[in-house]
Structure 1
Amino acid sequence: MQIKQLSIFVENKEGRLAEITQILAENEVDIRALSLADTTDFGILRIIVNNPDVAVKALRDKGMTVSLTNVIAIGITDKPGGFAQAVKILSEADISIEYLYAFVSRSGGTAYVILRVENNEKAIEVLKNAGFAILTQSDIYDL
């Protein structure tokens, strides 16, 4: 139940993000979640899309540097402490979080988080055992 995430190298120059999102739009790729981390000269755009293979090909065909990474997506109760519980469970299982980002859905009462951890399989197991919903690729596309 891992999710494919695109990581795209983005030069910090005017119009670059617009170019990337236009390429995705022209190829009917829908962005479901995203995160952008930057430095002075460049950034890394991390996105979850409805069709990762089409997105990778379209972006690479335009000369973009793109990689695919397996991440996990969890649903947590949207209330104070919901996320803290998930982080605590991972910490107690000695699973480090490399990075994460949240995204919104149309359904109320549940918050969603994308996690990049050192061991996806172990993280999925401990989170499932603790009652957290682990999302699939199609779950995310249907939100």
Structure 2
Amino acid sequence: MKAKQVSVFLENKSGRLNEVAQILGESDINISAFTVADTSDFGVLRLIVSDPEKACEVLKAKHFSVRTTDVVLVKSNNRPGALSQMLKILNAEGVFIEYLYAFSMNEDAAVIVIRPTNIERCVEKLHKHKNELLDND
């Protein structure tokens, strides 16, 4: 099962991150998770949101550079070693990960956002090992 991640390209300028958060909030789009990668000139804000298509639409209307990317959302136990166990399985199955980030759902569960080079292979191998995959909802 694939999910959609929204990537927003931002100038490294004060207030730009807040602008995105405000636009999405005013559009009734919930942000479940995000990460920011930056260079000296720009940043890439990656978001998991309740409505990726609408998020792209409203951000583009405000002149942000936006695109969607397929990612995999994996529910994991929120305990020491859980991430390592999942990564060990993916490595043994030959799944290469470009990047990942995670967020806690509660004290017992977390969600890991994975951007693999091969989505279908990653999904197949996670299913094979009985991992629970989620969607944007």
TM-score tier, shorter chain, comes to over 0.9
Render the CA deviation track for 1:40-75: whole Å, top value 9, x for unaligned: 111000001001111100000011000000000001
Distance in 2 of aligned mates of 1:36 and 1:111: 19
Distance in 1 of aligned mates of 2:136 and 2:18: 25
Distance in 2 of aligned mates of 1:56 and 1:111: 26
SS at match of 2:17: helix
Unaligned runs of 5+ in 2: none
How far residue 137 of structure 1 moved from its aligned partner, in angstroms, is 2.4
How far residue 20 of structure 1 moved from its aligned partner, in angstroms, is 1.0
Match of 1:109 in 2: 108
Match of 1:141 in 2: none
How far residue 117 of structure 1 moved from its aligned partner, in angstroms, is 0.1
Letter of the 1:24 counterpart: L
Q: Is the 8 A contact 2:78 2:104 kept in 1?
A: no
Distance in 1 of aligned mates of 2:92 and 2:13: 42
Render the CA deviation track for 1:87-139: whole Å, top value 9, x for unaligned: 11111111111000101214x3222100000111111111121121111222x
Distance in 2 of aligned mates of 1:45 and 1:22: 14
1:32-47 aligned at under 5 Å gives the runs 32-47=32-47
Distance in 2 of aligned mates of 1:128 and 1:90: 11
Match of 1:54 in 2: 54
- Provide the aligned C-alpha RMSD in A: 1.0
Letter of the 1:77 counterpart: N
Match of 1:134 in 2: 133
Length, aligned pairs only: 137
TM-score, scaled to structure 1: 0.91
Letter of the 1:123 counterpart: C
SS at match of 2:124: helix
Unaligned runs of 5+ in 1: 139-143
TM-score, scaled to structure 2: 0.95
SS at match of 1:137: coil
Q: Is the 8 A contact 2:6 2:48 kept in 1?
A: yes
How far residue 81 of structure 1 moved from its aligned partner, in angstroms, is 1.5
Distance in 2 of aligned mates of 1:132 and 1:73: 10
Match of 1:82 in 2: 82
Distance in 2 of aligned mates of 1:137 and 1:42: 26
Distance in 1 of aligned mates of 2:110 and 2:105: 8
